[in-house]
């Protein structure tokens, strides 16, 4: 009788001991939906795994596509983190109530201009919309992005309507100028613009003389310059007049889809000086924490003639997509 009681007690104690030693998967593995391209951020993710031992499964796709998938999956999404190319896609997911609040100590690392007002997402790197142009073909630079409606730009200007950064820029145009003026601009682009899938393809087309100019994010140009060498670029970058919506400063950022401890560590890692220096030196983006200098050739963010806009207001992605579709651009 004693033996049986003792054996039972040992079994209970062993079970309790094993439960106490059980590994919490939320601390050792992580699923990330990334709207950032694999070539840009996989080295950083590999570094995170190397430093923390946390294994990361990544699904790469467009930010808008991933936002739509998360909205469809709802609370059942297998993703722990949404790493978006722009604030608009993050805002759309946050608006649906699917993002956890970022810990305050992490939000405090980044200026309020580059995080959600409700703390549902935080920016990790900055990017600026620019006009990429061939100086041999464009000698009279447009003063505003709305100048591109002029028939003189027909067949000369390139855009990427399916790209998340373009969609966020159009959302900013809607916020600042309203849907009617934005629709008019999009309809003009349906006539004037040459359509590409990505910013990089636009840059290549301008460099090769296939189009005279294109609307892109700044860092694509600097990445190509690094690859081909200083002075080898045929195109240049320009900004529109002070406050023009074509000069939008946007942020790539992250939102937490679960209460995963590994997810919080990932956000912390992206906001570390090491990662911020990676964005500045390797991807030519703007670091968003204090004390990390911008890359060579970049103007400080404070000197960009950007429009005054709250990035939290870029959450109406569906309405923007509806206008782009109505114009026949996608």
What pLDDT digit, counting tens, does each position of 23-54 carry? 455 688 999 999 999 988 999 999 999 999 99
Residues 97 and 255: beta-carbon distance below 8 Å: no
Q: Which residue has the higher pLDDT, 126 or 13?
A: 126
Going by C-alpha positions, the residue among 197, 187, 192 that lies closest to residue 166 is: 197
In whole angstroms, what is the distance from residue 122 CA to residue 112 CA?
9
More confidently predicted of 5 and 21: 21
How far apart CA 284 and CA 296 sit, in angstroms, is: 8
The pLDDT assigned to 27 comes to 82
d(CA 223, CA 230): 11
Q: What are the tens digits of pLDDT across the range 77-100?
A: 999 999 998 898 999 999 999 999
Q: How far is Cα 88 from Cα 250, in angstroms, rounded to an integer? A: 9
Quote the pTM value: 0.86
**Angle subtended at Cα 38 by Cα 211 and Cα 172, rounded to the nearest 5 degrees:** 55
Confidence of residue 230 (pLDDT cuts 50, 70, 90): confident
pLDDT over threshold 70, residue 264:
yes
65: burial class by Cβ within 10 Å (0-12, 13-18, 19+)? Answer: middle
Strands 249-256 and 122-133: antiparallel
The neighbour count for residue 68, using CB atoms within 10 Å, is: 18
Contacts of 327 (CB under 8 A, 6+ apart): 183, 186, 187, 189, 190
């Amino acid at each position: 009788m004693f033996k049986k009681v003792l054996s039972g007690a040992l079994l209970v104690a062993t079970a309790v001991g094993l439960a106490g030693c059980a590994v919490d998967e939320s601390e050792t593995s992580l699923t990330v939906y990334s709207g950032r391209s694999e070539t840009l951020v996989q080295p950083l993710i590999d570094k995170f795994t190397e430093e923390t031992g946390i294994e990361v499964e990544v699904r790469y796709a467009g930010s808008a596509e991933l936002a739509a998938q998360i909205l469809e999956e709802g609370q059942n999404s297998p993703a722990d983190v949404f790493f978006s190319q722009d604030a608009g896609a993050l805002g759309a997911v946050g608006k649906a109530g699917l993002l956890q609040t970022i810990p305050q100590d992490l939000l405090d690392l980044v200026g309020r201009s580059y995080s959600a007002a409700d703390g549902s997402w935080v920016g990790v790197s900055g990017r600026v919309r620019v006009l990429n142009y061939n100086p041999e073909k464009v000698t009279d630079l447009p003063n505003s992005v709305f100048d591109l409606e002029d028939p003189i730009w027909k067949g000369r200007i390139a855009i990427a309507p399916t790209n998340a950064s373009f969609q966020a820029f159009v959302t900013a145009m809607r916020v600042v100028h309203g849907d009617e003026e934005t629709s008019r601009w999009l309809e003009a682009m349906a006539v004037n613009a040459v359509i590409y899938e990505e910013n990089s393809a636009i840059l290549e087309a301008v460099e090769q003389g296939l189009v005279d100019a294109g609307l892109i994010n700044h860092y694509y140009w600097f990445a190509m310059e690094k690859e081909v060498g200083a002075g080898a670029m045929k195109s240049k970058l320009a900004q529109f007049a002070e406050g023009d919506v074509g000069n939008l400063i946007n942020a790539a950022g992250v939102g937490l889809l679960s209460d995963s401890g590994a997810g919080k560590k990932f956000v912390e890692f992206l906001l570390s000086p090491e990662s911020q220096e990676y964005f500045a030196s390797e991807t030519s983006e703007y670091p968003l924490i204090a004390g990390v200098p911008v890359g060579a050739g970049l103007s400080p963010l404070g000197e960009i003639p950007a429009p005054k806009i709250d990035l939290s207001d870029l959450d109406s992605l569906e309405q923007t997509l509806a206008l782009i579709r109505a114009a026949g651009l996608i």
